[in-house]
Amino acid sequence: MSTSNVQPDPSMIGGISKAPFVFLPNPGRLFRDSASRYERLAEGERLAPYLRFLAGIARAQSNLSDMPNDIPLIPADVLERASISSMPAIDRSQFHDRAGMREVVRRFLPMLDDLVKPASAQQALALVKSAGDDDLDWMVANVMADHLPPDSLAHHLYVAAGVQAYMAVVASRLVASKLVPVSMGVCPSCGGRPIGSIVIGFQGAEGARYAVCGCCLTRWNEVRVKCLSCGSTKGVGYRSVESNGEDATVKAEVCDQCASWTKILYQNKNPSLDMMADDVASLGLDLLMASTEYRRAGYNPFLIGY
């Protein structure tokens, strides 16, 4: 492990002034890219079966995103009101009992039938597919609240994948210029928590850092060397699995103020990095951090079982 609590992150130097505040998701492409990345990462990897399974999930999410009928637009007046009051554009609490969302999840689940998976995962899928409206609504509500019950995690993961694709489509139709910073670690589109953040290397904003929402996959700009959980800029350091932390492209950004950490991916050093896929594939960093006093603040439904 390398520790650099006292030194600033070297690649932050040369700050960014023109970085757009948000990049709304382009769900079809985004999930396709994640699927390819999962597959690539699965080569010669201990987690290969799970990564291939998630590649299939991401492909299904991409297919769902390409057929977004039933997925609503957020009305302009709602967007305007949220913008004025510094609230997320999508009020997630309003989505809990929507029949439309349930139907989209129902359309999504059969797309997962043919994925290679353990028998227990197949049984969980069959159970979710046969769930009644009340049970499915309960699972959707849990997912929307970022609360996945440990005793039915496998069932919730399928629902979470459908909801993520749904929310990415809703977010993709927002108006970026109407989105405003809400508060630290809160997605301006949907109020969700970040998976982690990426340092980008494109679009004239090289070196800018974006948090990535675990619910709708909106990316929003946050300054570098700042805790995504509490907003502190003091006591922020970096750790990595590699012995030479300078070369690491996936690091833990740790905060001494609130004793939490989030993953930061350096896409400016490796353009192939993908927030979702590389988060799962860099599980080694999570295991390393689990032995420290810091708790993971990043939210990724596909990593919760580990």
Which residues contact Zn ion by CB under 5 A? 187, 189-190, 192, 213, 215-216, 218, 227, 229-230, 232, 255, 257-258
Our CB check for Zn ion shows the closer of 152 and 232 to be 232
**CB of residue 223 vs Zn ion: minimum separation in angstroms?**
14
Cα dihedral 288, 290, 292, 298, rounded to 10, equals: 100
Our CB check for Zn ion shows the closer of 104 and 227 to be 227
**CB of residue 254 vs Zn ion: minimum separation in angstroms?**
9
As a whole number of angstroms, the distance between CA 296 and CA 253 comes to 10
Our CB check for Zn ion shows the closer of 92 and 102 to be 92
Q: Check: CB of residue 149 under 8 Å from CB of residue 4.
A: no
Our CB check for Zn ion shows the closer of 11 and 232 to be 232
CA distances from 306 to 20, 50, 188, 285, 287 (A): 34, 12, 28, 12, 9
> DSSP secondary-structure letter at 91?
-
As a whole number of angstroms, the distance between CA 208 and CA 19 comes to 6
Our CB check for Zn ion shows the closer of 42 and 216 to be 216
**CB of residue 166 vs Zn ion: minimum separation in angstroms?**
12
**CB of residue 127 vs Zn ion: minimum separation in angstroms?**
28
Q: Check: CB of residue 18 under 8 Å from CB of residue 205.
A: yes
Residue (of 261, 280, 300, 206) closest to 3 by Cα position: 261
Our CB check for Zn ion shows the closer of 108 and 299 to be 299
Q: Check: CB of residue 257 under 8 Å from CB of residue 232.
A: yes
As a whole number of angstroms, the distance between CA 209 and CA 233 comes to 14
> What b/e readout covers 245-275, taking b as 16+ CB neighbours within 10 angstroms?
beebbbbbbbbeebebbbbbbbbbeeeebbb
**CB of residue 228 vs Zn ion: minimum separation in angstroms?**
8
* Phi/psi of residue 194, nearest 5 degrees: -75, 145
Our CB check for Zn ion shows the closer of 58 and 154 to be 58
Q: Check: CB of residue 30 under 8 Å from CB of residue 64.
A: no
Our CB check for Zn ion shows the closer of 208 and 228 to be 228
Cα dihedral 166, 167, 169, 175, rounded to 10, equals: 160
**CB of residue 258 vs Zn ion: minimum separation in angstroms?**
3
Beta carbons within 8 Å of 30's beta carbon, 6+ residues apart:
62, 168, 217
